[in-house]
Chain A
Amino acid sequence: MFRVELISDTSTATPGWSYAPTRGFDPTQAMAPTLGRKRGIRDTGKGGDISSRQANAIARHLAELDRENQRDVSIPVPVRQAREAGARGTRAKTTSNVRRILQSQKTFRNHLDDEEAAIASGSGGVGGMQGAGGASVVAAKGSKAAAMRRSATPASAVGIKRPSAAMGATGPSTPARVTTDAEADVNDEGRKPKLIKSEYDNDPLLRSYAPPVPSDRIMQRLLAEPPLSYNASRAKPQASGRPGRHFCSVWCVLVCPIEKDPGWSCSTDDFMN
C-alpha cells in the first residue's frame, strides 16, 4: 500500500537526517568542479550565453583574484610564553568557547556552507542561534523569531524579484507607480502624493506626482526586518540587459583599442608594430 507522510515544515531537529526543501537547480552547485565535470563540460551554460567550460574558467579566475597571496603559505602566529605568565595574569581563564573559536581552522567558505545548509533545513539565520545560557524563555523567543523570519521571507523575496522598472522609467511618474508597499498607507494622515512642479501641471495627462513618503508604521516594519542571508544580499546581474563587453583574450585583453564582437579575433599585426 501507499505510505502517506506529512512533511512538516518546521525544523524538528532529528538527528541523522532531515527533509531539506530543494530550491530547484542551483547554478553555483553545478559550477563546482567536482560535480559531474565531464558531463557538464560541454553543456551550454547555465547562464545562457556561456558554456560551462567558460563558467568554470571565470569562477577560477575570480577565486584567484580573491586570494591574499599567490602561493599557499602558512604564517603561524608566534608562540608567546609571556602571554600565559605576565600579560594574561589579570585576565580570567580562557573559556571553552574561546578555546573552541581559537582552534577553529574553518574558512569563510566552510562557515558559509554550514549556514546555507542550516537555512535550507529551516534553522538558519539569527533566529536559529540558541543561547549558551539558553533558558526556556529564551528558546521560546528564539522560535518566535524564527517564525517571524519565515513569514517575512516571502515578502522580501517578492521584493527582490521585482525588477527596477519603476526606477528605470525616466518619463514623468504617475500615481500608479506607488507600489504595494506604500499602498496601504496612502490615505493615512492625509499623505497625498505631492505634485511635482513642471510646465505641464495643467494637463491632467502629463502632470506628475512624487510618491508619498511611507508612514512611520511601514518604516518601523522595514527596520524590524531581519538581515538577508549572505548570498541573498549579493548584487544581481544588471537589469538593463546591456550585453557584456568582450575583449579578445590574452594579449589583446585591453591592448586592442576597440571593443570586439564576441566572435571576432584580432590578428597579431594589430599590436606587433
Chain B
Amino acid sequence: MGTAKARAPPRTPATPTQPVETSRYLPEKTFIIDNGAYMIKAGYASHAPASDESISGCSSIPNALVKTRDNKIVIGAQLATVSDWNEAMFRRPVEKGYVVNWEAEREIWDQSFFDGKVTSRNQNYHIADPEDTTLVLTEAPNALPILQRHADEMVMEEWGFGGYARCLGPTLNAWNEIHSLFGDPVSNTSDASILPADCLLVVDSGYSHTTVTPVYKGQALQRGIRRLDLGGKHLTNYLKEIVSMRQYNMVDETYIMNEVKEAVCYVSNDFSGDLEKAWKSGQKRQGGPEEGIVLDYVLPDPNANKKGFIRPHDPLLHAKKKKGAVSGLSAEVLSEDVLVLGNERFAVPELLFTPGDIGMKSAGVPDMILQSLSVLPTGLHSAFLANVLVVGGNALIPGFMERLETELRQIASAECVVRVRRAKDPVHSTWLGGTRLAANREELSKVSITRQEYQEYGSGWAVRRFAGLV
C-alpha cells in the first residue's frame, strides 16, 4: 500500500513544458466504465489505442438484476446463462441515465469487476487493485449534483480508486478518430499525442433517453445540451403495448419484446407511404408468403429450446392452423406462436422523430439538434452541422441515419453542409473514446483527481472540481 503511493508520478516525455506536480500520483493503469442503463461497457485502456482492435478489450455486462420465472435472481454477466426469458423481471440501478440505486449497482460492479481471482476469462475487466488504478467513469449530461456526489463517494470511499475522472459520456466520442468517418483528410501528425476533434455534435440515443451534445475540443458546450426522454426502453414498451392490445398479451415479456424490436423495427423514410403499404398487405387474404412490410415473428419456445426468429408473412397461416393436421402442417409449425408485425415495425421507432405521436410535447431528434444550435453562436452552426455523430444503440435501427440526415437537411440553413454519420461501433464508441483520452496522459491528469486529493478536500470539492468550478 504505502510503497505504491510513494512512487513518483509517471511522466510523459512529450510534455516537458508542463511540469507535473511531483506530489500528484495518478496510477498508470486506466480502467474505463461506460455505465449505460442497459449495458456496462468496461475494460482497460491499452497502451497503443490507435488501432480499432482495442475494442476487443471492452466487455459488455448487462446492468441489471433479473428475476426469472422460477424466482432465481441473476446478476450482470450471469445473464448469459439464462435460457428461459419468459416473464423475466428487471431491476436496473440506472434511472434516466444516472445511477440512482447504488445498492444494486454495487452488487453488479462487485460481481463483475472485483470478486474472485484473475482468470483468463475475466482478466479484461477484473480490477485486482483499485488503489493502483485510475477509473474513468462516464455520466449522462445534466446530472443532479447529489447523484454526482453519490457516484464520487462510492468510487472513492467504497472501492478506493487511486485516480478518478468522471466525464460526460458524449464528450468522449470526440477523442475517437472521426476524420476518416466524415471523409476528411486525416492529419499526418501521427507522432503527436491524441487530441479531440474541434467541433462535434454528438447525438446519443440510448436505453433511457436521447441527448444532443455539442462538443468543442473535447468539452461540452453545456448550454447547448438537449435531452429527449425517449430511448430504447420506451420503444420496447410501446411495441409491447401495441402488440398486447392487438395480438397476444406480452406485457410481462420485456426481454422477448426487446428481441422482437431489434429484429423487426426500422425507421421509415416515408411514413404515410409505408402506413398505406402495410394497410394494403393486411387487407389481402390470398396468396402465399410474400415480401413486404408485414413480417411474422415466431416467438421463442424455451421448452423446446428454440429461439425466436422472423420469416416472411404468410397470410393463410392462421386459417391453415385452424384446420389443424389436415392442412399438412407439421406439428412443429402448429405448436408455434406467431406475432404478425405490420405497421408496428416502423410506427414504434417513429417516436424518436415525432414524440407527438404519443402526445409528448417535445420535438423529435432533428429539431432538437436545431434547438441545441439555436443557443450557440451562429458562427459555429456550420461546423457542428457538418459533424453530426450518432452513437448509442438506437443508431443501429435501420433507416435511422437516413431519416435523420434527410430531416436535418430540410430544416437546417441551406448554406450549411449537413453530414450525419454513425460511429463505427455506436455502442462502444464512447468507451473507445475513453481509452483514447486515457492515452493522452496530460489531458487525463487535467480532468482527474487523485485519491490523496479526495481524502484531503472531500466529495463536495470533487463535485465542483469535475464541474470545472475549482
A142 contacts which chain B residues (CB < 8 A)? 460, 464
Partner of B106, one of A102, A219, A238: A102
Give complex CA distance A223, B225 in Å: 12
Known contacts A98-B158, A210-B415, A227-B225; is-contact A68 B233 (Cβ 8 Å): yes
Q: How far is the CB of A88 from chain B (nearest CB, A)?
A: 9
B381 sits at the interface (CB 8 A) = yes
Q: Interface on chain A toward B: helix, strand, loop, or mixed SS?
A: loop
B401 sits at the interface (CB 8 A) = no
Known contacts A77-B65, A97-B459, A126-B469; is-contact A237 B361 (Cβ 8 Å): yes
Give complex CA distance A115, B163 in Å: 28
Q: Cβ of A236 and Cβ of B362 under 8 Å apart?
A: yes
A112 contacts which chain B residues (CB < 8 A)? 144
Q: What does the 1/0 interface line of A113-132 toward B look like (CB < 8 Å)?
A: 01100000000111111111
Q: How far is the CB of A151 from chain B (nearest CB, A)?
A: 14
B29 sits at the interface (CB 8 A) = no
B250 and chain A: residue at smallest CB distance: A70
Give complex CA distance A115, B227 in Å: 18
B356 contacts which chain A residues (CB < 8 A)? 238, 244-245
A69 and chain B: residue at smallest CB distance: B89
Known contacts A61-B358, A112-B144; is-contact A162 B95 (Cβ 8 Å): no
B114 sits at the interface (CB 8 A) = yes
Which of A2-10, A11-19, A103-111 contacts its partner? A103-111
Q: How far is the CB of B362 from chain A (nearest CB, A)?
A: 5
B460 contacts which chain A residues (CB < 8 A)? 129-134, 138, 142
Partner of B458, one of A77, A133, A257: A133
B112 contacts which chain A residues (CB < 8 A)? none
Known contacts A164-B373, A214-B380; is-contact A65 B237 (Cβ 8 Å): yes
A222 sits at the interface (CB 8 A) = yes
B225 and chain A: residue at smallest CB distance: A233
Q: Cβ of A250 and Cβ of B245 under 8 Å apart?
A: yes
Chain B residues numbered 450-470 whose CB sits less than 8 Å from any CB in chain A: 456-461, 463-464, 467-470
B104 contacts which chain A residues (CB < 8 A)? 77
Partner of A169, one of B153, B158, B219, B413: B413
Which of B294-302, B309-317, B363-371, B436-444 contacts its partner? B363-371
A266 sits at the interface (CB 8 A) = no
Q: Cβ of A132 and Cβ of B146 under 8 Å apart?
A: no
Which of B271-279, B324-332, B421-429 contacts its partner? B271-279
Give complex CA distance A235, B372 in Å: 9
A20 sits at the interface (CB 8 A) = no
Chain B residues numbered 84-101 whose CB sits less than 8 Å from any CB in chain A: 89-92, 95-96, 98, 100
B460 and chain A: residue at smallest CB distance: A131
Q: Cβ of A238 and Cβ of B367 under 8 Å apart?
A: yes
Give complex CA distance A170, B408 in Å: 12
A206 contacts which chain B residues (CB < 8 A)? none
Give complex CA distance A225, B470 in Å: 13
- Tier of interface size on chain B: 35 or more
B192 sits at the interface (CB 8 A) = no
B147 contacts which chain A residues (CB < 8 A)? 111
A32 sits at the interface (CB 8 A) = no
Q: Cβ of A66 and Cβ of B233 under 8 Å apart?
A: yes
Q: What does the 1/0 interface line of B44-65 toward A look like (CB < 8 Å)?
A: 0000000000000000000001
A263 sits at the interface (CB 8 A) = no
Partner of B358, one of A65, A95, A178: A65
Chain A residues numbered 126-151 whose CB sits less than 8 Å from any CB in chain B: 126-135, 138, 141-142, 145, 148
- Tier of interface size on chain A: 35 or more
B285 and chain A: residue at smallest CB distance: A273
Q: How far is the CB of B427 from chain A (nearest CB, A)?
A: 20
Chain B residues numbered 248-279 whose CB sits less than 8 Å from any CB in chain A: 251-252, 254, 272, 275-276, 279
Q: Cβ of B160 and Cβ of A92 under 8 Å apart?
A: yes
Q: How far is the CB of B408 from chain A (nearest CB, A)?
A: 11
Q: Cβ of B376 and Cβ of A167 under 8 Å apart?
A: no
Give complex CA distance A71, B90 in Å: 11
Partner of A230, one of B107, B142, B251, B382: B142
B357 contacts which chain A residues (CB < 8 A)? 244-245, 247
B458 contacts which chain A residues (CB < 8 A)? 131-134, 138
Known contacts A70-B251, A178-B378; is-contact A101 B276 (Cβ 8 Å): no
Give complex CA distance A112, B229 in Å: 14
Known contacts A97-B157, A102-B106, A235-B227; is-contact A141 B470 (Cβ 8 Å): yes
Residues of B whose CB lies within 8 Å of any CB of A are: 65-67, 73, 75, 89-92, 95-96, 98, 100, 102-104, 106-107, 110, 114-115, 141-150, 153-154, 157-160, 216, 219, 221-223, 225-229, 233-234, 237-238, 241-242, 245, 251-252, 254, 272, 275-276, 279-280, 343-344, 347, 354, 356-364, 367-368, 370-371, 373-383, 411-415, 456-461, 463-464, 467-470
Residues of A whose CB lies within 8 Å of any CB of B are: 47, 50, 54, 57-58, 61-62, 64-71, 73, 75-78, 83, 87, 91-92, 94-95, 97-98, 101-104, 106-108, 111-112, 114-115, 124-135, 138, 141-142, 145, 148, 156, 159-160, 162-164, 166-173, 177-179, 181-182, 196, 208, 210-214, 218-219, 222-230, 232-240, 244-245, 247, 250, 253-259
- List the 10 closest pairs (A to B, CB-CB), nearest first: A131-B460, A133-B458, A58-B359, A164-B374, A244-B356, A257-B279, A159-B375, A132-B458, A211-B378, A108-B95
Cross-chain pairs A/B with CB under 8 angstroms, 7 sampled: A62-B358, A127-B464, A222-B376, A228-B223, A235-B227, A254-B343, A255-B279
